[in-house]
Amino acid sequence: MENNQKKSRIFRLSLVDANSHARLWSLRFSRPVFIAASVSSAVVLVLLLFSLIAFTPIRTFIPGYPDAHSRRQAVQNAQRIDSLQTRILQWELYTENLRRIVAGEEAIRMDSLILGSKPLRGASDSATLAIRDSILRADVALQEQFQISGSPRRENLPIEAQSFYVPVKGVISNGFEASMHPWVDVTAPEGSMVMSVLDGTVVFTSWDSESGYSVVIQHGSDIVSIYRNNEKALRKNGEKVKAGAPVGVLASSSSLTKGNHLHFELWYEGRAVDPAEYIKF
């Protein structure tokens, strides 16, 4: 009997007025009910705290939790790393392509690799391209005896004796500086045709969001010219060009650069030289 009374013991929680001793509020409960209510309240409180931390900006106040600025910085760093890796890959492909062109081997077709937007051609297209490439190479071998320049008589002339074609009609807005700015910026109207300065062979074409289309041409006498900030590239890797032949179309300032200008580099024997010393813009 005593045990039954202990098990059914009822508790009361009352709110009483201190002056009149009148009972304002009363709650009756047993021990199992009190335990169940306490556990339920704790669970609800934990769920509320979790919801506040997970779905509101309060979580940013937790030490060690990244805020919006940190996440944005992390995304920018990831983009910079990806851009750097792409640029390194482009230069590696350019080096390999340049070696193959100089050695008379088949040029690498890098358009689909760099832009990542065009699938590889089918087997039939590859066979057709191989036949055309063989014919082209036989013609090049016959006419130039595996020389890159289309003018063998000028092959061994120094850069001072070369007759350069103006790459684009315009005005130099930013001059050459060997260490900080080893190129010239030539201001010209949007849509201007960009021309090859000498006879040569296109050894590299690429595109990126900062420089637009870039075209690199290998000439005779160990001369290389580079044309950037193009809206279109009119030549493909391995294609031969004559002096004055169009190789690109100048882009607009709103899409790529500050001001309509051609980024033009001239390299001689492995070092950048001032184009203004040899070309009258």
Residue 137: what pLDDT? 62
Burial class of residue 217 in the structure, from the number of CB atoms within 10 Å of its CB (0-12 exposed, 13-18 middle, 19+ buried)? buried
- What is residue 122's predicted lDDT score, i.e. its pLDDT? 46
pLDDT at residue 114 in the model:
45
d(CA 129, CA 121): 10
Distance of CA 128 to the CA centre of its chain: 33
- What pLDDT shows up at residue 250? 92
Instruction: Determine the Cα–Cα distance for residues 23 and 232; give it in Å rounded to an integer.
Output: 89
Cα–Cα distance, 13 to 26 (Å, whole number): 6
Tell me what pLDDT residue 17 has.
83
User: Rounded to whole angstroms, how far apart are CA atoms 219 and 242?
Assistant: 10
**pLDDT for position 157:** 79
pLDDT mean values, one per 10 residues, the chain (281 residues): 60 84 83 87 91 77 68 78 79 77 66 45 54 60 48 66 91 91 92 94 91 92 94 92 94 63 93 93 83
What pLDDT was estimated at residue 127?
59
- What are the chain's domains? 2-55 (no CATH), 159-277 (2.70.70.10)
Residue 115 has phi, psi (to 5 degrees) of -75, -30
The pLDDT of residue 184 is 95
- Amino acid 254: pLDDT: 46
Q: Is 104 helix (H, G, I), strand (E, B) or coil?
A: coil
